[in-house]
Amino acid sequence: MARLKKIGIIAVVILSILWIGKVALLDRSPVPEKSDFSLNLKTIRALAHESKGPLPESLHALVIGEGAFPASAVVAGEGLTRKISMVFASFQIVYPGNKTIIIDSAMGQKEHKAMAPDAPYYPERFDAMQDAMLKASQILLTHEHPDHIGGIAISPNVQNLKDKLVLTKEQINDPFRQPEQFTPEALRVIQSLKPLEFEHFISPAPGIVLIKTPSHSPGTQFIYVTLKNGTEFLLVGDIVWSMENIRKLKGKAYLLNLMFLQENRALVASQIRMLSNVLNDPENKIQIVPAHDAERLKELFESKSIVEGFL
């Protein structure tokens, strides 16, 4: 009897430890009631109209790879068995006269397959993006992680991209970068860039404003885009991987930080609250675009807010 009692106590202790571990590593991701960030839309909109020249006419997106992550990783506290569809995409802003700006460059096939061996990848679209980068006047990044800088990291034309790359100091220097994922030439080109320096906001071209939001990575920035027709977008990179994070006020699972992410979770949480305020403000019509949310991108393609495929 005493032995049975002992086994019972041990089982309860083990289950309690497992439960506490699950809550800490997968479920907990508190978002504060108030955000330390405000979007300061008045300043952003004024800056977007300050640069000389016509506003962009359309925003395009090219899905280069797909994947699916467990919901419990993408949104803390979600189920272990459900999966959330992800995309790895590049964005193209189109101005009158077909002048273009590219945002993010996804990653190469080898790198994508290493991450998601069975997920679809479209090499012909990667090649189309390389052509589009050559034709673009600027190339911007939401942040410097391999699934966003990857198309530059292995670009066969990286020398010809040099004058178009508009990267911040943090994006050039982020220690998180994995040098083995860059060609030596790309590393040389990136390290020789003159960084774009600004404190909070800067407009690199008409209708576009970069907003410093270090948190997911040191070089993370929101990219605000307003079109000639008045549609406004906020490309939020990987601050969240899904609109569900904003709707449910939950960040990613903490386990990911222990495994490979190096997020400042307090800052991310504060930015999620700010995005929730934007989403729930009836006056606000800004379209929030998380970089990897497949469902959200499909919705924006269907509503014709974003054009599917590059020019």
What is the C-alpha to C-alpha distance for residues 119 and 305, in angstroms, rounded to an integer? 26
Under the binding rule (CB under 5 A), the answer on residue 238 touching Zn ion is yes
The minimum distance between CB 82 and Zn ion, in angstroms, equals 20
CB 59 within 8 A of CB 301: no
In the bound state with Zn ion, the residue whose beta carbon lies nearer, of 144 and 147, is: 147
**Closer of 44 and 297 to Zn ion (Cβ):** 297
- For Zn ion, the closer of residues 238 and 293 by Cβ is 238
Site residue total, Zn ion (CB under 5 A): 2
**Binding window for Zn ion (CB under 5 A); candidates: 3-11, 172-180, 232-240, 298-306:** 232-240
Q: Is the separation of the CB atoms in 172 and 147 below 8 Å?
A: no
Interaction between residue 144 and Zn ion (CB under 5 A): no
The smaller minimum CB distance to Zn ion, of residues 69 and 254, is found at: 69
21 phi/psi in degrees, rounded to 5: -60, -45
Residue 20 Cβ vs Zn ion, minimum distance, rounded to whole Å: 30
Whether the CB-CB separation of 142 and 236 falls below 8 Å is answered with yes
CB 63 within 8 A of CB 297: yes
Q: Contact region for Zn ion (CB under 5 A) — 6-14, 124-132, 171-179, 236-244?
A: 236-244
146 contacts 181 by C-beta, under 8 angstroms: yes
When the beta carbons of 238 and 263 are compared against Zn ion, the nearer one is: 238
- Interacting span for Zn ion (CB under 5 A) from 58-66, 105-113, 234-242, 277-285: 234-242
Quote the least distance from Cβ 54 to Zn ion, whole Å: 31
Q: How far is the CB of 305 from Zn ion (least distance, A)?
A: 21
Candidates 111, 147, 174, 263; binder of Zn ion (CB under 5 A) is: 147
Q: Is 207 left (phi over 0), alpha (psi -120 to 50) or beta?
A: left
Q: How many residues does the chain have?
A: 311
| Min dist. Cβ of residue 219 to Zn ion (A) | 12
CB of 300 to Zn ion, least distance (A): 18
- Interface with Zn ion by CB under 5 A: which range of 57-65, 121-129, 130-138, 233-241? 233-241
| Residue among 109, 70, 110 at smallest CA distance from 86 | 70
Buried b (16+ CB within 10 A) or exposed e, 33-58: eebebebebeebeebbeeeeeebbbb
Phi and psi dihedrals of 230, rounded to 5?
Answer: 95, -10
168: left (phi over 0), alpha (psi -120 to 50) or beta: beta
Of 88 and 254, the one with the shorter C-beta distance to Zn ion is 88
Q: Please, what is the minimum distance in Å from the beta carbon of residue 188 to Zn ion?
A: 24
Half-sphere exposure of 48 (CA within 13 A, CB side): 24
Is residue 293 near Zn ion by the rule CB under 5 A?
no
> CA 259, 260, 262: angle at the middle one, nearest 5?
115
- In angstroms, give the least distance from the CB of 43 to Zn ion: 27
Binding mask 189-228 for Zn ion (x = CB under 5 A): ----------------------------------------
Q: Which of 169, 171, 127 is nearest to 151 (CA)?
A: 127
**60/252 with CB nearer Zn ion:** 252
Q: Which residues in this chain contact Zn ion in the complex, by CB under 5 A?
A: 147, 238
